[in-house]
Amino acid sequence: MRRRSFFALLAAPDPTIGDMQVLLNHWERTCRNQLLLAPRPLPWLVLYDQHHAWHVNPQRSVLKAPVTAAGEVRWAGRRLGVRRVANTAAGVWLPDGETIPIELGAAAKPWPRGGRKDSAVFVQIPLPSLFRSKGAGSISTQHWHSLALHEFTHTLHFLTVVRQWRALQAKFDLPRAADDDMIETAFKGNAEYVDIFNREKKWLEKAVFANDAAAARAATRESLALARQRQRRFFQPGWTEAEALWLSLEGCALWVQVRFELENAPAGQPWPQTAMGMAGFMGSWSHEHGAGLFWMIGNLVPGWRTRYFGGGPPPSPFDVLEQAL
């Protein structure tokens, strides 16, 4: 185990059990108050910094030795163990058996519980101290919590989405790797596509920031008409379904993230300002587009939570909005 310098200790204290508990309390409140769900079993959670990973609720028989007991947290009335594992020269060991370089990559991923492929999901989250040590500047506690809630939300859909994606891959000619950036990767260099997509996004932005319901509906209609035009013109069979799948996954997670940021914004801060403060989380097409679509779904579609968090495959956000208008 590497020793940390005195100054590193000052700048980057270990996460305490209390810090982890605060995060889990936010997730429990999000489940109950925003998603209207009783909290489900907590997935395996890996919080890591430059030196260690803290495994919350791990399957202990799978953990890579040497392992140090690091305390307990409470989740939905149960006590769950926390174990600390030192990183190696290769990086951070994860439940899927991979060892990843120590980078700033928050993610939800499948792992083979009981040796069965894609049977469970885990979440990896870099700790705030890693953001600082990577020279990425500091991340506020609020943004760090909202980033973690984004990944937790993915765990509610992840295994269904993986199954849906494999079914689409079996039926259509789609890229081999599962990737929520597949549309962006394929079309970002196509000026005609980007032109339609940008107009579609502009209307969606108008809908999100509209002052009244009628204007919001009218702008959503314009955006959806352009989306359909774009899909008809450019997509091979299966791509419309794949786009809907990735936008559902990212859109739901961004909806949770935005709601959390709004609830925790300084009193009196106008909501567009809070939304703009999240620009750092909107770096990809699937994030930005998904956030806009699900903001409108949250506003226009009664009962939308049951359709997206009820356990079944997520419906297309384009279909859901069209039906609501």
- Measured over the CA atoms of residue 243, residue 245, residue 251 and residue 254, the dihedral's sign is negative
**Minimum distance from CB of 61 to Zn ion (Å)?**
29
Instruction: Determine the residue with CB nearest Zn ion.
Output: 253
Q: Judged by CB, which is closer to Zn ion: 87, or 153? A: 153
**Minimum distance from CB of 253 to Zn ion (Å)?**
5
Strands (E), 58-104: 67-75, 78-86, 92-93, 99-100
What is the DSSP secondary-structure string of 269-316?
A: --HHHHHHTTGGG--SHHHHHHHHHHHHHHHH-TTHHHHHHSSSPPPP
Q: Per-residue string for binding with Zn ion, 239-258, x by CB under 5 A?
A: -----------x--x-----
Q: Judged by CB, which is closer to Zn ion: 120, or 256? A: 256
d(CA 152, CA 148): 6
**Minimum distance from CB of 271 to Zn ion (Å)?**
22
Q: At what angle do helices 285-300 and 239-263 cross, to 10 degrees?
A: 70
Q: Judged by CB, which is closer to Zn ion: 50, or 257? A: 257
Q: Judged by CB, which is closer to Zn ion: 149, or 253? A: 253
Q: Is 288:312 a contact under the CB 8 Å cutoff? A: no
Q: Judged by CB, which is closer to Zn ion: 111, or 203? A: 111
**Minimum distance from CB of 150 to Zn ion (Å)?**
6
Q: Per-residue string for binding with Zn ion, 199-228, x by CB under 5 A?
A: ------------------------------
Binding site for Zn ion (CB under 5 A): 250, 253
